[in-house]
Structure 1
């Protein structure tokens, strides 16, 4: 087995790492994925819709890989963790740290409010520029980056925020 280390060197990436296993379903799925290859039907059977959402989040933050395997029903896509360990090596200002801790500990209700407001800024699936969104929300770009990294339905592409493909609403 190849040993791969996920190096976290961006303070904003801490939000993604902390939320990779912030619920029991996510935690159990992450443990299962770290020990074997698992297909979507198996994930849905064992964890239901929450398992599917958790898998999409883990895929969004690039912690899993996939490959096609031959199963009883023919070819199926299977998933496994890409990394075997995580190394955190970063430095940030106290302002950045405060924003990241706030984004990490936001209630689900508040996160949904931010997601809804950001989605309304996205026109024709073209995304919205980070600076424009931060200004309209009256928050720092660091906090915005943390909110988007925590979100299961939004992601950062370059300087824009866009919706994630394959989102389960």
Structure 2
């Protein structure tokens, strides 16, 4: 069975895919999620806080599906990868590629600085436009998209950057 295929057409999506397993914990969790259904308590026990954050990130980038299962503790939500395969099909300029690679390898501290600046720009509104944020930060929109794709607390909706609101 071929299963579902995640098709990557946008260079910014590469950041999400690479960041999904950029630590040993994330890599092992992603492998576990691709082979079985796992509940949050199991993830917390096996992988700790980093595993819980990784699960939320995978959910944010829409790599997971969930279902309720019955356990000894009653019904619990279980997670599994939505896709079995990834197909990368894109073309971009060398500048875009450089921005994507840089966003992928950005330190956690620098990522947090950008996240804080973007949240400050939102000023408790419904978000900030990509073009406006790019201009204020003095960075390309490709790099900005990479930052947001990598972030666990920000997302792109249409032409705006907004805070992630957990389910």
* TM bin (shorter chain): over 0.9
Q: How far off is 1:123 after superposition?
A: 2.5
CA distance in 2, matches of 1:115, 1:125: 15
Distance in 2 of aligned mates of 1:148 and 1:41: 28
Match of 1:57?
57
Residue 48 of structure 1 corresponds to which residue in structure 2?
A: 48
What CA deviation, in whole Å up to 9, does each residue of 1:97-154 have, x standing for no partner?
A: 1111111111111111111111111132511111111111011111100000011111
Cα RMSD of the aligned pairs, angstroms, is 1.4
Alignment of 1:1-169 (within 5 A): 3-166=3-166
1:70 match: secondary structure? strand
Given that 1:125 and 1:163 are in contact with CA atoms closer than 8 Å, whether structure 2 keeps it comes out as no
Which runs of at least 4 in structure 1 moved beyond 2 Å after TM superposition? none
TM-score (norm 2): 0.96
The total of aligned residue pairs comes to: 167
Structure 1 CA distance, aligned partners of 2:143 and 2:115? 13
Stretches of structure 1 lacking an aligned partner (at least 5 in a row): none
What stretches of structure 2 of length at least 5 have no aligned partner? none
**What secondary structure is seen at the aligned counterpart in 2 of 1:134?**
helix
Distance 2:96 2:162 in 1: 23
Q: 1-side partners of 2:125 and 2:51: how far apart?
A: 26
